[in-house]
Amino acid sequence: MSNFLLNAGRQTLLLELQEASRLPDRLDESFVRAAETIINCKGKLIVSGIGKSGHIGKKLAATFASTGTPAFFVHPAEALHGDLGMIDSRDVMLFISYSGSAKELELIIPRLEERNVVLLAMTGKSQSPLALAAAAVLDISVEREACPMHLAPTSSTVNTLMLGDALAMAVMQARGFSEEDFARSHPAGALGARLLNNVHHLMRKNEEVPQVSNDASVMDAMLELSRTGLGLVAVCNENGSVDGVFTDGDLRRWLVKGGTLNDAVNTAMTTGGVTLQAQERAIDAKEILMRHKISAAPVVDEHGRLCGAINLQNFYQAGIL
């Protein structure tokens, strides 16, 4: 039984791959016309389809929507019972139907024509009513389905998904859609956390920021270290600029070399040190800490004045790993 199941699975994959391998050679002027129609659309891309085509259509609508093209899925039956009201002349409809002769099309196509809505088709039948009414036709035809009974949509749904993805990716790249744009559509995801957060979104502020003046003592700095637990203290001048940092390591080294807690902190601190800009991307700031092999740093504003502090834990808590 196990060999039978493995062979059946492999045969399905091989048949679907064989059919899909023909798709690149089918891309022609019709594909370009479909892509340009979507790029120039002033409204929304409406994706529709029935059965397995509808399931693929929902995925494709989501892909377009997350890559810069406002899009949503409308079921043909729902369209005929009120949802056509969502569609106007600025929109484009992409209808998916392998046969291209779904009964609903008899009513949908005239309504789209009345509203001057451009129709794009994904179909396996080039002479079907859908194909003949469409401004551009994407060919998803297959020589055979992977289903041994040649009944269940298998190879054809793979073709639909792949050709739809090809269309979405071509449109996305033509729009110049970037990682930052993608992140704005996925603000709760890991990519959103990495690309949308700046240092000022994550940093400690106000009383949570460890700081002393440059005329403070080592004792003052040690107490500030203990109070905030960040592992460093920013040593600032009267203008609020950071002259240096005093860390747990600086304290140990100072005491080992014979220094006292009453000495001035500016004689024991690390002069200068690494500071981060409040407006820089959090992911870039984290890389700076990793590159310098430190766990925390003061944050300064555009005028170079201390405005916060941040450590690696703040990045990890925000999902920036």
Confidence check: pLDDT of 189 > 90 = no
The reply to whether 201 sits in an annotated binding site is no
Q: How confident is the model at residue 185 (pLDDT cuts 50, 70, 90)?
A: low
Strands 242-247 and 270-271: antiparallel
How, if at all, do strands 296-300 and 306-311 pair?
antiparallel
Q: Calculate helix-pair angle for 52-66, 155-175, nearest 10 degrees.
A: 20
Q: Which domains does the chain have, with CATH numbers?
A: 2-177 (3.40.50.10490), 199-317 (3.10.580.10)
Question: Does the predicted model carry a pTM greater than 0.75?
Answer: no
pLDDT tens sequence across 255-292: 999 999 999 999 999 898 899 999 988 888 999 999 99
pLDDT at 180: 66
Q: How far is CA 121 from the centre of its chain?
A: 28
| pLDDT of res. 198 | 86
| Chain segment 191-246, per-residue pLDDT in tens | 555 666 889 988 999 999 999 999 999 999 999 999 988 889 999 999 999 999 99
More confident residue, 86 or 179: 86
pLDDT of 103 strictly over 60:
yes
In Å, the largest CA–CA distance within the chain is 92
Contacts 24+ apart (CB under 8 A), 233-241: 233/265, 234/209, 234/210, 234/298, 234/306, 234/309, 235/211, 235/265, 235/266, 235/269, 236/211, 236/212, 236/306, 237/213, 238/213, 239/305, 240/305, 240/306, 241/300, 241/304, 241/305, 241/306
